């Protein structure tokens, strides 16, 4: 019987939750729920990183953890898994399991998310907010702030958004900015678009269903 399925540490980077590699997932989930319950105020609004160490977690388990964090009003969850997973080629399909930060919130002016992998935001990115990823960025919402994909120079990185209207869009060392002038764009319906580098410049194209 393992007594501690989860271990919570505060570091300079924030709060990290370590998952025991052999403990059963249901035990981990209930221990984490207890910890969240006991220190609800502490965790509310916090962004944590979940380190699963040598343990492999299934997509269902991941969703369960995300749901739990949402129930307790955390603002973000980051998953850190086995180190070798982080070294997958940047050419792989862009939502790479294990090195993707999933954030379910609206990023407001002054907020900034950086991550060494890919970032998925389920919500809007408002003007004045920044999203910076070493890999790709996907926004399931309106992207109006500043976004930088391939922040360490990966020119294959891409930016995807349900509505792509960034103040400024950077991929690797390329910068594209929104057109000057006063324009209130009101799109009647969301038109998913994708930005990538083609022949040295940033190109934005629609995505067929």
Partner 1 sequence: MNGKVIVITSGKGGVGKTTATANIGTALAMDGNKVVLIDADIGLRNLDVVMGLENRIVYDIVDVVEEACRLEQALIKDKRTKNLHLLPAAQTRDKNAVNPAQMRNLANELRKEFDYVLVDCPAGIEQGFKNAIAGADDAVIITTPEVSAVRDADRIIGLLEVEGLKEPRVVVNRIRMEMVRRGDMMDLEDMIEILAIGLLGVVPEDEDIVVSTNRGEPVVLDPESRAGMAFHNIAQRIQGKDVPLLNLEKEKLMDRVKRIIGLS
CB of 197 to partner 1, least distance (A): 17
CB 62: neighbour CB atoms within 10 A? 19
Comparison of 118 and 126: residue with beta carbon closer to partner 1: 126
Number of shown-chain residues binding partner 1 (CB under 8 A): 16
81 is a site residue for partner 1 (CB under 8 A): no
- Dihedral angle over CA of 46, 51, 52, 58, nearest 10: 50
The single residue among 59, 83, 93, 181 that binds partner 1, judged by CB under 8 A, is 181
186 is a site residue for partner 1 (CB under 8 A): no
Name the E strands within the chain: 6-11, 14-19, 47-51, 76-80, 100-103, 112-115, 118-121, 130-133, 137-143, 146-149, 159-164, 168-171, 174-177, 193-198, 201-206
The single residue among 130, 142, 154, 196 that binds partner 1, judged by CB under 8 A, is 130
The single residue among 16, 30, 96, 111 that binds partner 1, judged by CB under 8 A, is 111
- For residue 204, CA distances in Å to 43, 66, 100, 124, 131 come to 39, 31, 23, 19, 18
- The tokens describing 162, both together, are 């349900």
The single residue among 10, 127, 153, 206 that binds partner 1, judged by CB under 8 A, is 127
The single residue among 9, 112, 187, 198 that binds partner 1, judged by CB under 8 A, is 112
Map 65-101 to HEC letters.
Answer: HHHHHHHCCCCEEEEECCHHHHHCCCCCCCCCCCCEE
167 is a site residue for partner 1 (CB under 8 A): yes
106 is a site residue for partner 1 (CB under 8 A): no
13 is a site residue for partner 1 (CB under 8 A): no
26 is a site residue for partner 1 (CB under 8 A): no
- Residues lying near partner 1 in the complex (CB under 8 A) are found at 109-112, 127-128, 130, 146, 167-168, 175, 177-178, 180-182
């Amino acid at each position: 019987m393992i007594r501690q399925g989860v271990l919570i540490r505060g570091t300079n980077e924030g709060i990290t939750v370590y998952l025991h590699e052999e403990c059963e997932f249901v035990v981990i989930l209930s221990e984490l729920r207890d910890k969240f319950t006991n220190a609800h105020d502490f965790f509310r609004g916090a962004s944590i990183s979940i380190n699963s160490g040598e343990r492999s977690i299934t997509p269902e388990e991941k969703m369960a953890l995300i749901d739990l964090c949402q129930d307790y009003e955390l603002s973000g969850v980051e998953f850190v898994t086995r180190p070798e997973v982080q070294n997958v080629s940047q050419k792989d399909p862009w939502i790479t399991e294990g090195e993707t930060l999933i954030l379910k919130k609206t990023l407001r002016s002054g907020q900034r998310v950086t991550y060494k992998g890919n970032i998925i935001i389920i919500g809007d990115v408002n003007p004045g907010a920044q999203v910076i990823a070493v890999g790709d960025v996907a926004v399931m919402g309106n992207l109006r702030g500043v976004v930088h994909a391939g922040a360490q120079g990966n020119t294959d990185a891409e930016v995807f958004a349900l509505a792509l209207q960034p103040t400024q869009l950077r991929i690797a060392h390329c910068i594209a900015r929104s057109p000057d002038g006063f324009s209130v764009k009101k799109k009647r319906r969301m038109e998913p678009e994708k930005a990538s580098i083609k022949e040295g410049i940033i190109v934005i194209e629609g995505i067929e269903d």
